[in-house]
Amino acid sequence: MGLVVNNLKYKDYLDDISFRIGNNRIFGIYGDNSKYILDIINGDISDYSGNIQYDKNEINESFYKNNSSSIALIDSMPRFYTNKVEEEFRFNLQLRKVSGDYDKIIKKFIGLVNLKENILGRSINTLSRSEKYLLTIAVNLSFGPEVILFKNYALGLDHKNMKILATIINNLKEDHKLVIITSNDTNILYQYTDETLLLDNNQVYKNGQTDKIFTSPEIMKGGIIPMPSITKVTYLAKTKKSVKLSYHKDTRDIIKDIYKHV
């Protein structure tokens, strides 16, 4: 069944937001107030109205109490509970009541985000911004959540680490996890998501399959939501120059298409 959000309202930030997401999907949300949706799902905000369900279970205080490891929120500007990397892992694993060999779990997830094991003894304050981001991903995935929320997805990451993150979320999808990312960069949403929710004036503007949303004439002409750069090139070539191009997500593919038809 996945995640179902019904008539979500929160102060002046969200007005009657409804959507549903199936498991093993990467779902993107665009809009300045999209972060509040993730905070509500994660249980960090309680004074909202509406209903949220995950696999037919209502997400409420009782849900968080009985399913402490089901949902993980990964922020591009993470906050940590301890001073050292290994301590942060152990603290979170104990907090989520994870059983097993902590040494093996920690080494597995450090490797998953392409960090070296010698980082475990370092102070978190000595890490770069990218290292802190990758660390918070590793820590949150180590307790095995079913729903993974990325707030401000990939913000501040360089190209190399963005590729690492893309591999991680695709692997999560293959493992039948439900992944939600928020970003105000439509290039990221177009590149990495299966479905997208667009917010405008705190309400749902569009919701559906990402490819269809970002290649629809309405979105292209409306100007309300910025077009992804790669779809803008194709749209202008098709409408202004009558060039028979197809929409692509990889720049190399569109270059091949241009050589073929121009």
Which CATH number is associated with domain 3-209? 3.40.50.300
- C-alpha 179: how far from chain center: 6
Give pLDDT, residue 1: 67
Give pLDDT, residue 242: 74
The pLDDT tens digits along the chain (262 residues) read: 699 999 999 999 999 999 999 888 899 999 999 999 999 999 999 999 999 999 989 998 889 888 889 999 999 999 999 999 999 999 999 999 999 999 999 999 999 999 999 999 999 999 999 999 999 999 999 999 999 999 999 998 888 999 999 999 999 999 999 999 999 999 999 999 999 999 999 999 999 999 999 988 777 677 888 889 888 878 777 777 777 778 888 777 777 777 776 6
H or E segment and range at residue 91: helix 85-95
Reading the block at residue 88, the tokens are 């942060």
Show the beta-strand stretches assigned E in the chain.
3-10, 14-21, 25-30, 49-54, 57-58, 71-75, 147-151, 178-182, 195-200, 203-209
Give the position of tokens 């509406």.
Answer: 50
Give pLDDT, residue 229: 87
- C-alpha 217: how far from chain center: 26
Residue 22 DSSP SS3: coil
Neighbouring residues of 24: CB distance < 8 A, sequence distance ≥ 6: 173, 174, 175, 176, 177, 178
198 and 43 Cβ atoms separated by less than 8 Å? no
Give the CA angle between residues 141, 72, 250 to the nearest 5°: 70
Residue 64 DSSP SS3: helix
Residue 39 DSSP SS3: helix
Distances (CA, A) of 12 to 41, 45, 206, 241: 18, 14, 19, 43
Give pLDDT, residue 231: 87
Give the CA angle between residues 163, 248, 204 to the nearest 5°: 85
The candidate with the shortest Cα–Cα distance to 131, out of 189, 180, 76, 61, is 76
Distances (CA, A) of 64 to 33, 70, 217: 23, 8, 42
Give the CA angle between residues 18, 23, 24 to the nearest 5°: 125
